[in-house]
Amino acid sequence: MITLPSFDEMYQALLDKNSQYEGVFVVGVKTTGIFCRPTCSARKPKAENVEFFSHTKEALTNGYRACKVCRPMKEYQSAPEWLVPLLKEVEAEPERKWKDYELTQMGFSPSRIRRYFNKTHGITFQAYLRMSRINGAFLKIKEGQTVTQSAFEQGYDSLSGFSETFKNLTGFSPGKQGQIVTINRIHTPLGPMMIGVTDEGLCLLEFTDRKMLETQLDVLKKRMKSELVTGKHPIIDQTEKQLEEYFEGKRKEFSIPLVVPGTEFQQRVWDALNKIPYGVTRSYKQQADVVGDVKAVRAVARANGENRISIIIPCHRIIGSDGSIVGYGGGVHRKQWLLKHEFENQ
CATH number of the domain bearing residue 275: 1.10.10.10
Which of 266-270, 313-317, 320-324, 333-337 shows the lowest per-residue confidence on average (mean pLDDT)? 320-324
pLDDT of residue 161: 52
The pLDDT value recorded for residue 142 is 67
> Is there a single domain that holds both residue 289 and residue 238?
no
Give residue-wise pLDDT tens across range 234-265: 999 999 999 999 999 999 999 999 999 999 99
Question: Which DSSP category does 316 fall into?
Answer: G
The proportion of the chain whose per-residue pLDDT surpasses 70, expressed as a percent, equals 87
Last residue of a domain, one of 247, 275, 297: 247
330 falls within a domain: yes
Confirm if 184 and 197 have CB atoms less than 8 A apart: no
Average pLDDT estimate for 190-212: 91
283 and 205 share a domain? no
245 CB contacts (<8 Å, ≥6 apart)? 251
Q: Are residues 226 and 283 in the same domain?
A: no
In a shared domain, residues 269 and 335: yes
User: 0.85 exceeded by the pTM?
Assistant: no
Whole-number pLDDT of residue 313: 96
Q: Let me know: does 190 contact 180? Beta carbons within 8 Å.
A: no
Q: How many domains does the chain have?
A: 3
Given a cut of 70, whether residue 289 has pLDDT beyond it is yes
Do residues 160 and 240 share a domain?
Answer: yes
Residues spanned by the domain of 167: 156-247
On the question of pLDDT at 148 being above 70, the answer is no
Check if 315 is active-site: yes
pLDDT for residue 159? 40
User: Is 123 within the bounds of a domain?
Assistant: no
Q: What is the per-residue burial (b if ≥16 Cβ within 10 Å, else e) of 257-294?
A: ebbbebeebbebbbebbeebeeeebbbbbbbbbbbeee
Residue 177: its pLDDT value, please?
47
> Does 137 reside within a domain?
no
141 found inside a domain:
no
Statement to judge: residues 235 and 292 lie in one domain = no
Judgement on whether residues 214 and 169 belong to the same structural domain of the protein: yes
164 or 194: whose pLDDT is higher? 194
Beta-ladder partners of 209: none
